[in-house]
Structure formats: structure tokens, C-alpha cells
């Protein structure tokens, strides 16, 4: 998907894999890439490339664990056997996962899974609540397809929201951006009115940023 490189602009690369049965729809990913393309109206030229197999690294089907819950760079002491995102990505010292480590520092890495097992930073309680989670200013993100209501617009919004965190964007209280999030009542990216960032957000995207987990 969008595998050519624009020599006159900036490029963002994402390697995407998924657990069996949780492959994102092509339309959802194309909606996000189209949003990046439309930023040219603001004289911002960023091309989003999603390697779902078209660039030779992504598009791998990851087997389900014995259950559906995956942690994100954290361990639940009550469920220490739950696998973690890094178990699938691997590490540079032990590159036995699905991520191509020669791409480190170039590609973000996204896994589409069933459930994310997440600790609420305010309450310390664990739950499978979030539809997505990402590394703030980093390169890792994970989407829980089970908690996304729409496989097209909804998935596009959640994916773009989490990628926004990788690019150092933070939550907003306006529905005019996919970074929309409020806690009372709880609403997230799917409630946004657009598949887009605010013009002020586009202007401050940290494309080179590659760290704190946020949902």
C-alpha cells in the first residue's frame, strides 16, 4: 500500500502484522493514508506507507496465544503469563519476533490483536478496555480489533489516533480530530467527526520521533 517514496516530502513507514482473524480492512488503512495525502492542502507533504506485505516485511499472521489478552510493555503480576507486545516484536538483542530489525529507526511496528490487557494509570486497575495503545513519541502501537465498532471508519480513526501518539500528538477534547478523548463519559477516537488531525496538529507532527504508553 502506497509503496513508492516521495523524494520531495517526508515519509512515515509502518510495518503491520495481525493475529489470525484480525487483519485490518484495506479500506480502513487507505482512509488513513488518504488523510495524510490530503495534508498537502496545508502545504504539509507527508506520505504514509503501510507495509502489509507490499514491502516484503509486514502482512504476517501471528498465531493467537492460549487466550486473547496481550499486554503492552508491562506485566500484570496477577497474570504474569500473559504475552506482551515485545514477545511478538522481539528485541534487537533477540530478534526472534515478527518485526524486521534492520528496519529499526525507520519503521513503526503495529500489531492488530483481539484484546489489549491494560493497566489504567489513574486507578492501577487492569482491564481489556482500550481499542488501541501506543508508545508516545515512539514506534510501537497495537490495535484491539475486538473493541473497534467499525472495521472501516472506526478502525481508521483508532489506527490514526495511535499513530498520532507515536508522532507525539496528545489527546484533545474536540471531535474535530482523531486525537479526541474524554473520560466522562468515556469516549475515544471512534467518536471523532473526522479521519484527520487538526491543522495545528499537522504542523507539529514529530515525524522523526522514535517513551510512554498511552491509549
pLDDT digits (tens, 9 = 90+) for 88-135: 999 888 888 999 899 999 999 999 999 999 999 889 999 998 999 999
Q: CA 191 to CA 178: how far, in whole Å?
A: 8
Average pLDDT over residues 179-192: 94
Q: Per-residue pLDDT for 43 more than 70? A: yes
DSSP 8-class letter at 191: G
Whether 86 maps to a domain, the answer reads yes
Return the CATH number at 80. Answer: 3.40.390.10
What are the grid coordinates assigned to 195, written together?
Answer: 479521519
Strand, helix or coil for residue 13:
strand
Domains in the chain, number: 1
Whether 51 maps to a domain, the answer reads yes
Whether 4 maps to a domain, the answer reads no
150-189: b (≥16 Cβ within 10 Å) or e: eebbbbbbbbbbbbbbbbbbebbeeeebbbbbeeeeeebb
Domain enclosing residue 45, as ranges: 10-210
pLDDT digits (tens, 9 = 90+) for 52-86: 999 999 999 998 877 789 999 999 999 999 999 99
For the beta carbon of residue 131, count every other beta carbon within 10 angstroms.
23
Whether 215 maps to a domain, the answer reads no
Whether 3 maps to a domain, the answer reads no
Whether 18 maps to a domain, the answer reads yes
Q: Which residues have C-beta within 8 Å of that of residue 118, sequence separation ≥ 6? A: 71, 72, 74, 126, 127, 128, 129, 130, 133, 215
Answer for the pair 47, 37: CB distance below 8 angstroms, yes or no: yes
> In what helix (H) or strand (E) does residue 157 lie, and over which residues does it extend?
helix 153-166
DSSP conformation letters of 83-136: -BHHHHH--SSS--SSS-GGGTTTEEEEEEESEE-EE-TTT--EES--SEEEEE
Whether 36 maps to a domain, the answer reads yes
pLDDT digits (tens, 9 = 90+) for 3-16: 455 556 899 999 99
Q: Which residues have C-beta within 8 Å of that of residue 166, sequence separation ≥ 6? A: 108, 134, 135, 136, 137, 138, 139, 140, 141, 209
Whether 136 maps to a domain, the answer reads yes
Amino acid at each position: 500500500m502506497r509503496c513508492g517514496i516521495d523524494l520531495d516530502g517526508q515519509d512515515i513507514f509502518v510495518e503491520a502484522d495481525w493475529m489470525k482473524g484480525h487483519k485490518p480492512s484495506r479500506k480502513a488503512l487507505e482512509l488513513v493514508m488518504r488523510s495524510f495525502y490530503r495534508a498537502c492542502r496545508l502545504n504539509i507533504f507527508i506520505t504514509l506507507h503501510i507495509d502489509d506485505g507490499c514491502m516484503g516485511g509486514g502482512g504476517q499472521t501471528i498465531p493467537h496465544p492460549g487466550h486473547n489478552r496481550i499486554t503492552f510493555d508491562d506485566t500484570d503480576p496477577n497474570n504474569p503469563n500473559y504475552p506482551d507486545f515485545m514477545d511478538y516484536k522481539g528485541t534487537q538483542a533477540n530478534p526472534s519476533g515478527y518485526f524486521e530489525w534492520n528496519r529499526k529507526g525507520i519503521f513503526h511496528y503495529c500489531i492488530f490483536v483481539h484484546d489489549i490487557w491494560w493497566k489504567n494509570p489513574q486507578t492501577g486497575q487492569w482491564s481489556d478496555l482500550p481499542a488501541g495503545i501506543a508508545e508516545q513519541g515512539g514506534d510501537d502501537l497495537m490495535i484491539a480489533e475486538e473493541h473497534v465498532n467499525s472495521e472501516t471508519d472506526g478502525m481508521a480513526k483508532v489506527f490514526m489516533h495511535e499513530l498520532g501518539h507515536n508522532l507525539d500528538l496528545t489527546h484533545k477534547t474536540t471531535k474535530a480530530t482523531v486525537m479526541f478523548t474524554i473520560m466522562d463519559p468515556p469516549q475515544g477516537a471512534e467518536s471523532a467527526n473526522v479521519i484527520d488531525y487538526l491543522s495545528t496538529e499537522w504542523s507539529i507532527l514529530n515525524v522523526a520521533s522514535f517513551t510512554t504508553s498511552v491509549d
